[in-house]
Every structure is written in C-alpha cells, then in structure tokens.
Structure 1
C-alpha cells in the first residue's frame, strides 16, 4: 500500500484517492436487478454500507492485501488511520519533497527521521504522528529553527534518488506500451455518449432552457410584427433589399443573443471537457458536434 501525501498547505494534507486494478465487466444478459443484488453484496462484503473513515480505510487495506497499489491523500488522519499506511510522500509549498519513504510500525521510521534533525522537538507519548509531522514542518517552525526540510540530504534521500534512477531504466527486451487506437470507443460511440451527456445537461438546467425559449419567442414576435407580409412585396429592388435586411437582422439578433446567453454554460462545460478529453474518454470532434 503506497500512500502519497501530495500537497501540504495550511496544516493539512489534501487530495483524492485512486484505486487501480478494480474493473467489473458485466455481460448484457445480466439484468439490472441481478446487477443491483451483486453490487449490494459487494458493498456489504467490503463494509461500505455504514460509510465512515475507518470502514473506508479497512476497504483500502483489504484492497492492498490483494496485491494492488493504492495511492491516497489524507486530511488530518487519526493515529489508527495514519498507522494503516505503509509509505508517505510529503511535499511542501513549491512542490518540494520533505519526506519520501516508509512509515514503519506506529510511524517509527517517520518519527526517527525528523527527530534525527537538529532542533526538532521530540514527539510526546500518545501524540498523533500525523499532527506532529505537520506541526514541525510548518513554514513558521522552519523559520524558527533556521532550516529547510526540503534540502535535507539524508541517507533516505540518497536511497530514493538511486531507486528513481534504477526504475527509470527499462528492463532489457522491454517495449513501450502501445495501443492500436487512442480511444477505446469508436467515433460514433463517442458521439452517442456526448449527445446523451448534452441532453442530460440541458434537462438539468431548466432555467437556462426556459430563458432561451422565452427570449426567442419574444424576438420572433417582435420581428414578425415589424416585417409582416414583407416577403410578398417584390416589385421593386428596394423591396428585395428590405426582405434580405429583415432576415439578416433577425438571424444576427437571435445569434448574438443565443451566443451571449450560452457563455456561462459553456464556461462550466469546457472545464469538464478538458478533464474528460485528457482522460481519453472522447475526442474534441464528437463533443463539438454534440
């Protein structure tokens, strides 16, 4: 179980949890009722029915015991929860490494590492090692001690650099991971999913849809009364110019209004699109067409 505390700001560690290697593929012949029964059974098996921090961490521990690697970031963990992790990757502001290595039993390796630095106060008996670690590595404490924890060239630091160098060298005969296609689904499948997603987004934003309907109807009535029966007048060149000008004005007015009203919605969806495209869910063309 590898635990990485990726960012330390304001006295806590924040981030998300990623569990790899857990994928369920259900055939189409399995109906929704059987699928729900299977999900409920799994939820009870991994003790996620009463959702709490301890049960979640037991689930993570059980996942690790199956041979998978779990990367977590934690927020003010208790002694018991912090003791369930195997390794810690602690960063300070500026993405600088403070500690990268194993925790040990009751965080003994972590405590011994920091207590070995001159000026660092000893941890009190029964005190939470996670809270103690955040206290002694705070910017104010660094200024008081006159040291920078990120530049400590310890044996642990040298070991990590050597390990990175070894892991960066590919094994003899190994090949780069290659896929035949960039996306797992075809173009039409991506378009279908994007259309379904856009359909849901409009239904979940009824205020925006209602305003667009209302404004379009009002503008249509306004232009319709202003240019009523204008198309039947075609005797003069000026009549044709008037008809073309009315169509140009109507299209331009509605276009500008729709473009301005859609900006807040597009701003939110653009962020989601960047994230989903980077994850390889779909390309830009199906999303634009949808």
Structure 2
C-alpha cells in the first residue's frame, strides 16, 4: 500500500518528462498486455466451440451467421465488466483528471481495445486449423503491434519508411487515444532535459506525435478495425472447414 500511494502521488505531479513517460507506460501496459491476455484466454474456448459448430451446422440446427453473432455478442458483457473494474481502480491511481468526460474516453478506448483483441483472437482461430497455429500467428502479429505502438519508439522517431506500420497498428491507435484524451489539453510546464520547459501538450505533439487533428481519425479507425475483424471471423468460420473424420 505505501508503494501504491507513492506511485499515485508521483504520477499526479507531472513536472518532468519522465512523469509523462510513466503515464505512457501505464497506458501501454494496460492496453496491450490486458488485451493480449484476453485474446490468449479466449482462443482455446473458440477452438472448442468451433467443433460444436461443425456438428450443429451439419445437423441443420443453426446457420453460421447466427453462431458468429452469438459468439461476438456473448463477449461484450465480460469485456464491459473487466474494463469497468479495471478503470475504477487504475484511473484514479494514475492521477488522471476526475471528470466524467475523460473517464468516459478512458473506458471507451479500453473497451474498443478489448474488442479488437478479442475479435482478432477469434479471427485467427477461424483462419487456422488448430489452436497452436492460431496462438503462434497471434504472437507474431502482437510483436509488431508491441514494437510500433508508440511506446518503445515514439512516432516521430520511427524511420519514415516504417511509419505506415504505426498507422496500420491498432495498438498504436489505442495508446494515441488514451494519451491524448487524458493529457492533450494539459498546459502545465514540464522539465525536458536539454530543452526549454514546455507544456505537456507541446511535449506530446513534439516527441510522441500526438496531435489533435488525428484524434477523431483514431477513434474511427478503432471502429473500422473491429468491424473488419468481425467480418473476417464470419467469413473464415463460414468458408474454412478443418474438421477431420
């Protein structure tokens, strides 16, 4: 508890460049690792239920579309409960501004993050013949999502010929949305080694490349990738059959 209290005070006092990086690290860990764990836990369940789908579909009990909709819909309550519990604990501990609007943005981006991780895990199971290949494919893609999320290497520091990977990376969109929605309007001065003091917003724009003009785009991209993964899950589960007799 003393350590948690220390972290709370430390993160609330945003006076240095490192304080912003600490918050970035919390946001990065929250979005990526929780999403990855949720995806990994879900994949064995989807793999087992796919066998049931083959049996019931052959018996004419229900169509693939009904199965896909039910499979996606049943995950929503779990995601909402997880995010609300997580946000109610972590949000005040980080020291974010306690307003309804900013808390809403935090919850929204966490829910969207859980949704695309969940749907991506379901899609990889539908695409591959067994759980092992699905897990391996997911891990490979998650490496790219991790490296180009904007935490290990800021967007402005990524070589220009690799920045397309950043913009094609859902994890980067989540980090972008969470950071800018919480700190994008902050005007407190922070100390940056080797540079004049600058506001939090100026630091986000100059070093991390988080700008207001892309904020709405990032939100729309979340919705687009969720719809894409859901559509691909339905297509793969409908047309790819790996059942062995």
Normalization by structure 1: what TM-score?
A: 0.21
Structure with greater helix percent = 2
The structure whose RCO (Cα within 8 Å, separation 6+) is larger is: 2
Normalised to the residue count of structure 2, the TM-score between the two structures is 0.24
- Mark the structure with the bigger radius of gyration: 1
* Higher strand proportion (structure 1 or 2): 1
